[in-house]
Amino acid sequence: MRCKGASYQLSVSNDVELKIGFIGAGNMAFGIAKGLLPGKVPPANVKVSAPSSRNLERFQELGVAVTHSNVEVVSGSDVVFVAVKPHLVPLVLAETSQHITDRHVIVSVAAGVTLATLEGLLPENTTVIRLMPNLPCVVQEGALLFARGTHAKPEDGALLRSLLHRCGLVEEGPEAWVDIHTGLSGSGVAFVYLFAEALAEGAVKMGMPSALAQSIASQTVLGAGTLLRDSGKHPAQLRSEVCTPGGTTIHGLHALERGGVRASIMSAVEAATTRAQELGQKPAAGSRK
């Protein structure tokens, strides 16, 4: 732990000394916790709080301690993930802020809650990082983007990367990108599921059994995504490689373009991003600023 006024010297090699806390026990917290364990941080060094026991059992199965006390989590942790709904962030930080010291790194995964809002709810000079993961973190295939607050140093970002690298792709960027990432990847997961559902329903319409159609659709999405990630090629290049003159794919793509699928997807990302930005503009109760 760092003492008041000292620089943060924890490194990848001694992450085992870290105490990690989660306020909130939803899917994002669970996905991140799974990425930390095993090996990176021992289960004995992790504690999770939630107001009810509904989601805590799966954390206990990981060997993680659970509690109903947010203060207990903060008091016993170095890095605290605030993984609650955006409207609950002011309440949680008001409850725990007097227990937050300069040894803490506070990582918020609440959509739309800005760094300025978080810093206004916390003691001065608190190290704050805003992180946006997505649902595939639960299978360690997530896409995570974070932005550092005013008092977060590059080594704090490096520490977070080292903790989260098993969760999937981890990138750092300016805060303006976090809301865009929310629309692209946080909400975008649901857009992909809708597309996969429609693929399967198209096959059912043409006579394939539903269970088989769903299985093939999911594998198609998985295979296409893996190839896109690992090939390094632009999506348009891969798409053109599937098309042959007068073939089935170009006819199907023509139908999609007639339906405006490209514009609809772009509009969906825009709408989700705009909503994330709106969440961040709402005044936070209890802010010091």
Cα–Cα distance list, 147 to 6, 9, 165 (Å): 22, 20, 16
pLDDT tens column, 171-195 = 999 999 999 999 999 999 999 999 9
- At residue 2 the predicted structure's pLDDT band, cuts being 50, 70 and 90, is very low
Listed residue (62, 24, 56) closest to 43, CA to CA = 62
Listed residue (113, 120, 186, 121) closest to 147, CA to CA = 113
* Domains of the chain and CATH, by start: 12-175 (3.40.50.720), 188-277 (1.10.3730.10)
With 0-12 / 13-18 / 19 or more C-beta atoms within 10 angstroms meaning exposed / middle / buried, residue 262 is exposed
DSSP state of 186: I
β-bridge mates for residue 120, sequence order: none
Residue 84, marked binder: yes
Cα–Cα distance list, 142 to 136, 168, 248, 287, 289 (Å): 4, 4, 32, 31, 34
Block residue for tokens 């947010």: 70
Helix 27-36 / helix 154-164 crossing angle, nearest 10 deg: 90
Q: 48 near 66, Cβ under 8 Å?
A: yes
In the chain, the N- to C-terminal Cα span, in Å, equals 29
Residue 111, marked binder: no
What's the confidence (pLDDT) of residue 124?
92
Q: Over the Cα atoms of the chain, what is R_g?
A: 21
Average pLDDT over residues 15-34: 89
pTM for this prediction: 0.86
| Dist. CA 165–CA 133, nearest whole Å | 12
What residue type is assigned to position 52 of the chain?
Answer: S
Residue 24, marked binder: yes
- At residue 282 the predicted structure's pLDDT band, cuts being 50, 70 and 90, is low
Residue 47, marked binder: no
Residue 23, marked binder: yes
- At residue 11 the predicted structure's pLDDT band, cuts being 50, 70 and 90, is very low
| Dist. CA 231–CA 157, nearest whole Å | 28
